[in-house]
């Protein structure tokens, strides 16, 4: 039995019981309930229609399924999944340099420090990545004369262990005392409940370790290899990126702690010349072992002492077979060199092949989607533009085939709770398949079960939508599931469909919960208006039950005649935008990176 369909007008007039699709209104209890005659079975209860969130969709994945399709991919932040942690939540005064990791048991662990350069490192555990337990001390500086600890990084290894590497340094004038600086390793065998004692694996000035594990099992730690160079302006830092290797899951490492600077330099380039002394840079390394077996290394390049930074990506297909000589060589040969302004990069790869690079630009978290080689990056997107978009040191953690969590620190002037951490989720939008099956436009999404490839929009406000597509003989169908706890008559979706992928030929359909409002086809300078009634439509409305009901919203099914989409054969391009109104304020949202005037930025929808 399918639920009744209500118009948006009815949403505000009918009793709440009916609005929620809870079945027919029953008579008062005192009249008694009708009894089922002996020998007869009770009729089945009405099916409950659910409006799905994007986190429930895109459950299938195939490695490198979208390789080579970067121009059709982007990431969209979820406004509802943005949140902050204040220093007072952990009983601290400030929070910096977060690193969030998903553990094998499904829990999360968060590492952070209490100052720009330490001196203390903490961690906290969470069941859901949102609500964290108490801050636990990980490394603590005992006094102003003790070592300072900072920039902890962590990695879940193939055997399920959690490997951590943390930088330590001399408390003052650290460049002059490389023997009092280094890297410390700790390992957890029980999902972060306990850790092994700290083990020194490197001696020398350093910052910002980065970790990865190759398919062979080799574990690598990269780090900013920092030297103090004597110049006319004093002792200044010159950097590059070096590597240490472990072949037994971090128990032993190939570097020597009997001497300073035992790592192999793998990436560095010349920057400024200070009084005849050549300086080098390439720091804050974040490695990724790509699906194709190559290594990509995201790097920050400090050009001078005036806060001018660039982002580079270095590559290796031979596991860094060539070592570079400090203060001499530039390398490696294969590099995406200083291709954008930015600092503090982080890099990850989705199961489907696309890579995501984020960095700090103008104190905003900025991202670019790249291809399966961590190259050919698209234009910039700025997630969380509706919240505190400020960012200094970002972290990315892939949590599903289409979702990545990000953690960032914020610099504020709030005297009570300065420097909170901000968190959010980015969802991957890319080419989707419109499966072939029959759709009945009746406001019930039952027939869509098992067909969950979806596109998402929802970064501007709490209103958000997931769109799915299907086709059958003579029709192209759309399922729009909208979560919105503040329904308004102005809430609409405008769908753009280019049947042949050409820039000047596309159908524009605008609809809301109460039906299709318009259907116009653009063909160059010509416009053809179609009868909206020709598009079969059905909707289901779930009215809010209380304030900020997360399940409120509506779903709409559209069945568009192929005659409205001339030339449609194997695939089409789709763009869309969502209009909403809440508390008297109108908003318009479309996926980051999508330009409605440029069909080449729209998403590919392939007819399966």
Structural domains of the chain, ranges and CATH numbers in brackets: 74-429 (2.120.10.10), 431-607 (2.60.40.1190)
Mean pLDDT of 405-430: 87
Least confident range of 190-199, 384-393, 447-456, 488-497: 384-393
Helix (H) or strand (E) holding 358: strand 355-361
Query: Model confidence at 275, in pLDDT bands (50, 70, 90)?
Result: very high
pLDDT of 233: 94
Q: Of 460 and 47, which is predicted with more confidence?
A: 460
Q: Closest Cα to residue 491, out of 509, 464, 521? A: 464
Q: Closest Cα to residue 159, out of 187, 181, 186? A: 187
Mean pLDDT of 401-413: 90
Mean pLDDT score of the chain: 91
pLDDT of 22: 32
Q: Which residues 6+ apart lie within 8 Å of 371 measured at CB?
A: 67, 68, 70, 353, 354, 355
pLDDT at 290 > cutoff 50: yes
pLDDT of 37: 55
pLDDT of 374: 98
pLDDT in tens, 20-65: 333 322 223 333 444 445 566 676 677 789 999 999 999 999 999 9
The Cα 20–Cα 594 span in angstroms is: 34
Q: Closest Cα to residue 79, out of 577, 423, 412? A: 423
Q: Tell me the whole-structure pTM to 2 decimals.
A: 0.91
pLDDT of 412: 73
The Cα 35–Cα 58 span in angstroms is: 44
Tokens 């067909």 correspond to: 451
pLDDT at 8 > cutoff 90: no
From the number of C-beta atoms within 10 Å of its C-beta (0-12, 13-18, 19+), residue 43 rates as exposed
| Token pair listed for 364 | 């905003």
pLDDT at 204 > cutoff 50: yes
Q: Which residues 6+ apart lie within 8 Å of 518 measured at CB?
A: 508, 509, 510, 529, 532
Q: Closest Cα to residue 575, out of 595, 558, 548, 550? A: 595
């Amino acid at each position: 039995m399918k639920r009744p369909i209500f118009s948006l007008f009815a949403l505000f007039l009918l009793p709440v019981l009916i609005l929620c699709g809870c079945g027919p209104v029953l008579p008062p209890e005192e009249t008694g309930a009708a009894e089922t005659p002996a020998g007869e079975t009770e009729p089945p209860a009405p099916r409950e229609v659910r409006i799905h969130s994007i986190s429930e969709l895109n459950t299938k994945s195939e490695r490198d399924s979208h390789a080579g399709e970067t121009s059709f991919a982007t990431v969209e932040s979820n406004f509802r999944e943005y949140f902050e942690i204040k220093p007072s939540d952990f009983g601290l005064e400030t929070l910096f340099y977060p690193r969030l990791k998903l553990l094998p048991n499904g829990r999360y662990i968060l590492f952070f420090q209490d100052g720009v350069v330490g001196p203390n490192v903490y961690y906290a555990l969470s069941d859901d990545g949102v609500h964290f337990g108490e801050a636990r001390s990980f490394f603590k500086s005992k006094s102003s004369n003790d070592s300072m600890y900072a920039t902890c990084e962590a990695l879940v290894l193939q055997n399920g262990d959690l490997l951590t590497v943390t930088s330590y340094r001399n408390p003052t004038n650290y460049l002059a005392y490389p023997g009092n600086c280094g890297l410390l390793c700790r390992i957890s065998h029980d999902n972060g409940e306990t850790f092994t004692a700290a083990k020194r694996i490197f001696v020398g000035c350093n910052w910002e370790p980065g970790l990865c594990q190759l398919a062979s099992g080799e574990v690598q730690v990269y780090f900013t290899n920092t030297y103090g160079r004597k110049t006319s302006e004093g002792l200044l830092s010159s950097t590059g990126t070096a590597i240490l290797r472990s072949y037994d899951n971090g128990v032993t490492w190939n570097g020597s702690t009997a001497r300073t600077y035992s790592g192999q330099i793998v990436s560095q380039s010349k920057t400024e010349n200070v009084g005849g002394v050549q300086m080098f840079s390439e720091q804050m390394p974040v490695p990724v072992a790509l699906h194709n077996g190559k290594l990509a290394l995201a790097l920050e390049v400090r050009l001078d002492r005036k806060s001018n930074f660039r982002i580079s990506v270095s590559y290796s297909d031979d596991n860094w077979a060539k070592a570079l000589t400090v203060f001499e060589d530039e390398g490696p040969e294969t590099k995406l060199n200083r291709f954008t302004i930015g600092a503090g990069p982080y890099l990850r790869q989705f199961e489907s092949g696309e890579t995501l690079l984020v960095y700090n630009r103008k104190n905003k978290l900025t991202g670019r989607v790249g291809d399966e080689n961590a190259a050919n990056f698209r234009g910039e997107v700025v997630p969380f533009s509706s919240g505190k978009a400020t960012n200094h040191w970002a972290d990315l953690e892939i949590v599903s085939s289409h979702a990545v969590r990000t953690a960032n620190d914020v610099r504020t002037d709030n005297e009570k709770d300065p420097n909170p951490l901000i968190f959010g989720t980015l969802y991957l939008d890319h080419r989707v398949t419109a499966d072939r099956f029959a759709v009945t436009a009746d406001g019930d999404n039952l027939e869509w079960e098992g067909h969950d490839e979806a596109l998402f929009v929802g970064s501007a406000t709490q209103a958000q939508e997931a769109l799915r597509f299907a086709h059958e003989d003579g029709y192209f169908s759309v399922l729009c599931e909208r979560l919105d706890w503040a329904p308004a008559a102005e809430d609409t979706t405008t769908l753009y469909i280019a049947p042949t992928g050409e820039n000047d030929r596309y159908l524009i359909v605008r609809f809301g919960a109460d039906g299709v409002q318009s259907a116009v086809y653009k063909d160059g300078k010509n416009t053809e208006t179609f009868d909206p009634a020709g598009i079969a439509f059905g909707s289901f409305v779930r009215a809010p039950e209380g304030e900020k009901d997360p399940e409120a919203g509506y779903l709409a099914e559209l069945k568009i005649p192929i005659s409205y989409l001339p030339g449609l054969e194997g695939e089409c391009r789709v763009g869309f935008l969502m209009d909403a109104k809440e508390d008297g304020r109108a908003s318009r949202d479309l996926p980051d990176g999508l330009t409605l005037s440029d069909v080449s930025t729209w998403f590919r929808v392939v007819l399966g």
